Amino acid sequence: MRRFYPYFKYLRAVRGSLIGSILFGIVYGVAAGAGLPLMVKTVLPRMFGVNPVPLTRIQLIGIALWLPAVFTIRGIAGYLSKYLSTYSGVRILEAIRLDYFRKLQALPLAFYDKMSTGDLIARGLGDTNQLQNTLSSITTDIFTQPATLVSALTYVAYLAFRERGISLMLASMAIVPLSVLPIRYVGKKLIKRTQKLQREIGNIADRFTENIAGVKEVRAFGLEQHEVNRFAVMTGNLVRANMKVAKYASGLTPAIEIISAAGLSFTLLYAYKIHVQWGAFLSIVTAIYTCYEPIKKLGAMNNELKRGGSSLERLEQITNEPVTIADPPSPAKVGRLRGDLAFNHVSFAYKKGTPVLRNIDLKIPAGTVCALVGPSGAGKTTFVNLVPRFYEASTGSVTIDGIDVRSMRFADLRRNIALVSQDPVLFNDSLYDNLLLGRPDASREEVFAAARDAHAHEFITAFPQGYETLAGERGSRLSGGQKQRMAIARAFLRNSPILILDEATSALDGGSEAAIQDALKKLMVGKTVLIIAHRFSTIRDASMILVFDGGEIVAAGGHETLYGANPLYRSLYDRQQGRQPAH
């Protein structure tokens, strides 16, 4: 229980409804725990005993209404307790998921390199839901069920002690400590099995996500049955994990019932031996029987705590993940930057001991169009990712206009950078709203102008809904070239002093590429531009070309100089142009 104390903060926002749920739960518990046994003890003997007492009409009406009254109180109190508990739980779930999602926005990109999308989704949906169930159920049952149990046991103790003293009282209540044994045993068994179940759910979610994302490749390579077989193995693992949890969770109730039945039989024999009156005995048995339900529910609550603890552990792996790249405590005041870039003895490694960039020392003056070339894995993308602080330099520093990027707020830094990636992402919103992401405060005229500059206006207006057309999930309604023109339009709209083009024209057809190149030349004027491209037609006119190899800049200069002096650049260029390298 102590494990959940830090998370009771989520209950503050719903404390009114939660207190109401608890109070109604206590009323329910007292009505259930004492109402029926009291009727058996005080009412029934007067009506059906050996010497029944004559009852007045009013007394008969009162007796007739006793049972409906008890169940009416139980029903209304139970309904209100459950309703308020559900409301509290839904609000708790909202807060937990929001905090989880907020943490995902703060974590650096390096975190996502080691986590699968499906598993993160499973934690954000399944584990948060389980934690909500646990918090809302224990906060009500922890009062309701003990209230029922205590009221019933108090009545048992009082009646048994009055009838035959301490011996009958102890015999009647022996069932309670015995019932704790299966609860403790099952709780221990559930911990590891619940953790395995949650992992299997994450694996299933990951398989779904990966398969749907790669649906074209699955069809193209005829992998449908292969994927079904892989999924069948995972669902089989999930079934087995579910059954192991069910094995122990479902076994708790019958175990308690068997122990309770044995306890009742013992009480029956002992009461017979000491000659307890049948009316008193029936009342004691009714009170003991009333104890069964709260004992079982307390056992179920213990199981719920174990499940919630497993989900909490999985969520804490994310929520306790350190945010290694964050806004500085005292950020530098930054407006619109000029765009002077400097890499000062910068090294970087995704894994310790395996550097991707080695001692990069470079200045890129504002207004420079700088192209990055080199074989795959040479460090080009990592190099540009250090500028917007997607990753943090392991050693050295990256500065813009002499200001270390680590001393700027993310909002200030990234407002000065526009990015057009090789695989741009569009959200399932209108095309207009997707463009507006470049600059949320832009006017409609500015949005239309940016779309025209990127040659996107024509295909957008060709849709029946025009700019209000939904892009589809990840821009599924658009072709690759159309998505890239949308991304280029965002960059036009952003109009930042630094522009990063990561294969920005790779998916354009030949007819539109020339027009886009002209548009990009217009966009580049007065800006610092970093271009990653394998198509050398996009970089021949760059004012600076950097040749990367093995995490180092092995050459820098213009096209003519590098083609004549650097064998790696010449071989890359010739291969792109379809020429055979010289021997």
The conformation of residue 116, written as its DSSP 8-state character, comes to -
| Domain boundary assignment for the chain | 7-319, 341-576
**Strand 544-549 with 552-557, pairing:** antiparallel
457 or 265, higher pLDDT: 457
Confidence at residue 35, expressed as pLDDT on a 0 to 100 scale? 62
Q: How far apart are CA 124 and CA 452, in angstroms?
A: 40
Whether residue 392 contacts residue 108, with contact meaning beta carbons closer than 8 Å, is answered with: yes
Beta strands in 392-476 (DSSP E): 395-400, 403-404, 417-420
**SS3 for 27?**
helix
Residue type, 475: G
pTM above 0.75, yes or no: no
Mean pLDDT over all residues of the chain? 80
Task: Give 453-490 pLDDT, tens digit per residue.
Answer: 888 898 899 999 999 999 887 788 888 778 888 888 99
Q: Does domain 7-319 have CATH number 3.30.930.10?
A: no
Going from the C-alpha of 195 to that of each of 48, 123, 190, 503, 550, the distances in angstroms are 55, 12, 8, 43, 42
**Residue whose structure tokens are 């886009």:** 516
Task: Give 489-538 pLDDT, tens digit per residue.
Answer: 998 898 899 999 887 665 555 556 666 677 777 778 888 999 987 667 66
Residue type, 109: L
| Helix ranges, 430-509 (H) | 431-436, 444-453, 457-462, 480-494
292 or 412, higher pLDDT: 412
Phi, psi for residue 566 in degrees, rounded to 5: -115, 115
Number of residues that make up the chain:
583
Confidence at residue 582, expressed as pLDDT on a 0 to 100 scale? 43
73 or 266, higher pLDDT: 73
Confidence at residue 478, expressed as pLDDT on a 0 to 100 scale? 86
* Mean pLDDT of the 439-444 span: 90
Half-sphere exposure of 521 (CA within 13 A, CB side): 12
**SS3 for 97?**
helix
Exposure letters 75-112 (e unless 16+ CB within 10 A, then b): eebbebbbebbebbbebbbebbbebbeebbeebbeebe
Task: Give 172-215 pLDDT, tens digit per residue.
Answer: 566 666 766 676 777 777 777 877 887 888 788 878 777 777 77
Confidence at residue 169, expressed as pLDDT on a 0 to 100 scale? 57
Q: Does domain 341-576 have CATH number 3.40.50.920?
A: no
Whether residue 266 contacts residue 173, with contact meaning beta carbons closer than 8 Å, is answered with: no
